[in-house]
């Protein structure tokens, strides 16, 4: 079953392109030695203070980054994503705004299933890896994170054997007020 290309998908494509430009800019200005980057990535995701200040995002850019990553994530699924009640997941799901120290943090939390959850997990993680996020593992979940990119942390937990679901969480960087 083909997924329709509505306004949400086009928004996701646009945000994905914006993220790709940002990542390309970071890659050009950053290290050119992939071994150096791999050697500095921790084996597990841990909450550590940032060693360098991440670029400041406005609330519009922060919301667009989270929404774009959600759209790219849902586009990577093997088939249409449906919620626990069997309804199609809306790719235009609005990120939830939460207060953070001195600003607003946008987050998305979704529980969904596809016709092939294991294949969807692999595709989603590949999208996150290509976007430049570091890999980690949490308790029974795959984690991607960054200290400098617009998304601070993403996690995906596959509980298919228990409830047939994938549990997704995307946490954007804190965007300062004003």
Averaged pLDDT for residues 91-101: 87
The answer to whether residue 134 sits within a structural domain is yes
Question: Measured in whole angstroms, how far is the alpha carbon of residue 57 from the centre of its chain?
Answer: 16
Rounded distance between C-alpha atoms, residue 19 and residue 65, angstroms: 7
Reported as a pLDDT band with limits 50, 70 and 90, residue 4 is low
Q: Regarding predicted confidence, which is higher, 5 or 80?
A: 80
Domain of 133 in residue numbering reads as: 7-43+51-176
The DSSP call for residue 168 is E
Averaged pLDDT for residues 93-111: 91
The answer to whether residue 86 sits within a structural domain is yes
The answer to whether residue 1 sits within a structural domain is no
pLDDT, tens digit, for every residue of 140-151? Answer: 899 999 999 999
Domain total in the chain: 1
Tokens found for residue 44: 């597990």
Sign of the dihedral through C-alpha 29, 33, 37, 40:
negative
The answer to whether residue 84 sits within a structural domain is yes
Q: What is the pTM of this model?
A: 0.69
- pLDDT in the model for residue 172: 96
Rounded distance between C-alpha atoms, residue 125 and residue 1, angstroms: 23
The answer to whether residue 98 sits within a structural domain is yes
The answer to whether residue 73 sits within a structural domain is yes
pLDDT, tens digit, for every residue of 32-63? Answer: 333 333 333 344 444 444 444 455 778 899 99
N- to C-terminal Cα separation, the chain: 44
* Radius of gyration, alpha carbons of the chain: 16
- pLDDT in the model for residue 122: 97
The answer to whether residue 2 sits within a structural domain is no
The answer to whether residue 162 sits within a structural domain is yes
- pLDDT in the model for residue 178: 59
């Amino acid at each position: 079953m083909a997924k329709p290309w509505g306004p949400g998908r086009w928004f996701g494509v646009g945000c994905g392109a914006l993220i790709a430009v940002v990542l390309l800019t970071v890659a050009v200005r950053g290290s050119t030695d992939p071994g150096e980057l791999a050697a500095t990535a921790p084996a597990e995701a841990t909450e550590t203070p940032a060693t360098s200040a991440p670029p400041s995002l406005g609330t519009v850019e922060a919301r667009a980054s989270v929404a774009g990553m959600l759209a790219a994530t849902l586009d990577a699924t093997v088939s249409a994503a449906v919620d626990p009640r069997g309804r199609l997941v809306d790719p235009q799901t609005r990120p939830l705004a939460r207060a953070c120290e001195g600003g607003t943090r946008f987050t998305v939390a979704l529980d969904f299933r596809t016709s092939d959850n294991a294949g969807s997990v692999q595709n989603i993680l590949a999208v996150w890896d290509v976007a430049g996020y570091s890999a980690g593992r949490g308790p029974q979940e795959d984690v991607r994170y960054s200290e400098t990119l617009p998304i601070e942390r993403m996690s995906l937990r596959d509980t298919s054997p228990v409830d047939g679901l994938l549990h997704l969480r995307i946490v954007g960087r804190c965007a300062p007020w004003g």
